[in-house]
């Protein structure tokens, strides 16, 4: 029997762990092939590729991000080969199975929930080794009657075979994200999340997990992401794994975790700050909302003060990047409340802040209670909301305008000094900056086109030019500092128009050759000759004292910003007083 396990990943760099778990469990009796596509691949190409492999069974792993494209593939595949058995599994189809089977006639079977045992038993049925009613967790239609067999008992994960050691995966390990699972289940009951449905947390064999991670690192894996819903729910387990990863990591490897920040003890953070190499770990933390009523309504237990303590302590250690998540559209969180949530979380200055929008996923408690909170949403993946009783569609659209510029300007860290200046001196709160700039951005349709780094500067400056309460010379100077400090080489065409002609530049360089201390003692230690000045520096007028600014305060002072490239690890910034201009 020719069996193919497949899915449409969001990107090539992603790998589907579920398919590998199914394959590992099916062997050695069966030998499924894993073939992964992306949602950007043309449907015809996917179907052609599958068809030419002449499968008897094709199993699809289904999620909100790929279900619509997967359905297109299924319908076309069944058209060209009606004999192929189509099996679906995954979180998107594990609920409302009757609806899926009735609406999409091309689906033969749906495996519900934890699918390893059920899928193998289904293969036994298709091989005539057992009856169909002996396949647990299987949904199907027989004689126009919908049937869902009783679910199987939970697997003993300690006995599960490894899904990480297939020979065909090894060549791509250095190029893709590897997803590792050390536990299943979640102790929390957040009503917007599918993880809340499975009660309790079960663990895989710790020694096997460690051996698998060693194998992955030995074969070139660089990004290993743990998919455990709450990696640190057991402090002793988390500490054991942290210690193992610190002791045995290999150069260039990064480990990512989803953690619950408000239950992390200070001594654990102190241990990581003292022992973890910089860049080895990355934390993803779901904050979602700081509104107490909202958290209560979605049954989300969260101590925000303890969460802040954790994020702040981790940040102070300077070893671990943190990615924090927010969800707009949760019950009773109106626009004003979400603005407050955003600002309270942004105050911690996470390396990344992800702004998402509520999706009413099939199987979640919040979808069941959608009418109670007045939710209007499209009943098609990804089930994002349009409005609720306290947040209208105009509010949703306004918050979406924040999302694009937040990603490009804060999360990309292209001009942190500029943003911090704007937060402190121009806008009442960070959210107000992102909101007003996001609206300006959207009105010009910039979200629909690509951007070079210089474009991001010119577009921000165009926005700031329209404000009344801002010193344009000062912000222009700050933006120049940000821009030049990010360059590795002398820029040929900066984002601003050339404001120093060649004759003025020549005179300035001659003065600096005669007296390097004009640009400060630290510059003079670089000992540049005239040729090196021309080749390795860039000079531009500026309206603030660079040295003072780098120490954290604004001193308006006319002069020049002298940037030297290649002599230090990052560009060396120097300030030349405007008094030098009297020689030009």
The predicted-structure confidence for 462-490, as pLDDT tens digits, reads as follows 999 999 989 999 999 999 999 999 999 98
What is the structure's pLDDT at 584? 47
- Region 55-84 average pLDDT: 97
**When comparing pLDDT for 30 and 526, which is higher?**
30
- pLDDT over 80 (residue 186): yes
Q: At 579, is the pLDDT very low, low, confident or very high (cuts 50, 70, 90)?
A: low
Which residues are CB-contacts of 493 (< 8 A; sequence separation ≥ 6)?
A: 454
- pLDDT over 90 (residue 412): yes
The predicted-structure confidence for 519-560, as pLDDT tens digits, reads as follows 888 888 888 888 888 889 999 999 999 988 988 889 999 999
Q: At 375, is the pLDDT very low, low, confident or very high (cuts 50, 70, 90)?
A: very high
Question: pTM of this prediction?
Answer: 0.92
What is the structure's pLDDT at 569? 82
Q: At 392, is the pLDDT very low, low, confident or very high (cuts 50, 70, 90)?
A: very high
Helices (H) and strands (E) in the chain, counts: 21, 20
The predicted-structure confidence for 287-339, as pLDDT tens digits, reads as follows 999 999 999 999 998 999 999 999 999 999 999 999 999 999 999 999 999 99
- Average pLDDT value for the chain: 94
What is the structure's pLDDT at 445? 93
Could you give the count of Cα atoms lying within 13 Å of 289 in the half-sphere of its Cβ?
27
111, 184, 308, 378, 414 from 278: Cα distances, Å: 42, 28, 21, 43, 21
Q: At 440, is the pLDDT very low, low, confident or very high (cuts 50, 70, 90)?
A: very high
Q: At 258, is the pLDDT very low, low, confident or very high (cuts 50, 70, 90)?
A: very high
Contact between residue 303 and residue 315 where contact means Cβ atoms under 8 Å apart: no
What is the structure's pLDDT at 73? 98
Q: How open is the CA angle 130-135-138, to the nearest 5 degrees? A: 145
What is the structure's pLDDT at 580? 59
What is the structure's pLDDT at 437? 98
């Amino acid at each position: 029997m020719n069996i193919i396990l497949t899915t449409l990943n969001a990107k090539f760099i992603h790998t589907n762990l579920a398919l590998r778990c199914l394959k590992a469990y099916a062997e050695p009796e069966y030998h499924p092939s894993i073939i992964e596509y992306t949602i950007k691949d043309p449907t015809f190409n996917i179907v052609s590729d599958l068809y030419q492999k002449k499968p008897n069974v094709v199993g699809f792993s289904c999620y909100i991000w790929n279900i619509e494209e997967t359905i297109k593939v299924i319908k076309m595949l069944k058209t060209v080969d009606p004999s192929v058995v189509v099996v679906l599994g995954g979180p998107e189809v594990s609920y409302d199975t009757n609806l899926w089977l009735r609406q999409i006639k091309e689906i033969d079977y749906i495996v519900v929930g934890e699918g390893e045992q059920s899928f193998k038993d289904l293969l036994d049925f298709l091989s005539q080794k057992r009856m169909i009613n002996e396949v647990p967790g299987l949904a199907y239609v027989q004689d126009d009657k919908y049937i869902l067999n009783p679910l199987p008992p939970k697997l003993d994960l300690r006995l599960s075979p490894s899904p990480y050691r297939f020979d065909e995966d090894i060549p791509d390990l250095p190029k893709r994200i590897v997803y590792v699972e050390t536990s299943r289940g979640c102790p929390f009951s957040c009503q917007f999340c599918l993880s809340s449905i499975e009660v309790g947390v079960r663990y895989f064999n710790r020694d096997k997990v460690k051996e698998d991670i060693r194998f992955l690192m030995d074969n070139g894996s660089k990004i290993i992401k743990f998919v455990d819903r709450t990696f640190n729910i057991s402090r002793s387990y988390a500490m054991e794994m942290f210690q193992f990863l610190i002791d045995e990591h290999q150069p260039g490897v990064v480990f990512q975790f989803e953690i619950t920040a408000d239950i992390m003890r200070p001594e654990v953070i102190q241990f990581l700050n003292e022992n973890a190499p910089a860049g080895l770990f990355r934390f993803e933390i779901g904050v979602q909302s700081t509104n107490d009523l909202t958290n209560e309504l979605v049954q989300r237990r969260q101590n925000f003060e303890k969460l802040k303590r954790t994020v702040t302590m981790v940040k102070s250690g300077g070893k671990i990047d943190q990615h924090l998540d927010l969800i707009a559209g949760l019950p009773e969180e109106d626009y004003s409340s979400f603005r407050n949530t955003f600002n309270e979380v942004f105050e911690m200055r996470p390396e990344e802040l992800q702004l998402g929008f509520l999706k009413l996923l099939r199987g979640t408690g919040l979808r069941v209670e959608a009418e109670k909170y007045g939710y209007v949403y499209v009943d098609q993946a990804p089930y994002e909301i349009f409005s609720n009783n306290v947040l209208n569609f105009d509010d949703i659209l306004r918050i979406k305008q924040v999302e694009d510029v937040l990603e490009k300007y804060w999360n990309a860290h292209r001009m942190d000094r500029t943003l911090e200046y704007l937060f402190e001196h121009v806008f009442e709160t960070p959210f107000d900056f992102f909101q007003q700039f996001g609206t300006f951005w959207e009105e010009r349709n910039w979200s629909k086109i690509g951007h070079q780094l210089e474009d991001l500067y010119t577009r921000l400056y165009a926005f700031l030019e329209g404000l009344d309460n801002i010193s344009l010379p000062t912000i222009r100077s700050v933006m120049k500092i940000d821009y030049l400090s990010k360059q590795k080489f002398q820029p040929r065409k900066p984002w601003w128009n050339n404001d120093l002609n060649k004759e003025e530049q020549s005179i300035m360089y001659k003065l600096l050759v005669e007296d390097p201390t004009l640009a400060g003692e630290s510059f003079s230690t670089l000992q540049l000759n005239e040729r090196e000045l021309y080749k390795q520096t860039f000079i531009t007028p500026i309206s603030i004292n660079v040295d003072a600014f780098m120490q954290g305060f604004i001193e308006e002072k006319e002069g020049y910003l002298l940037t030297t490239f290649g002599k230090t690890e990052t560009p060396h910034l120097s300030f030349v007083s405007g008094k030098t201009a009297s020689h030009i």
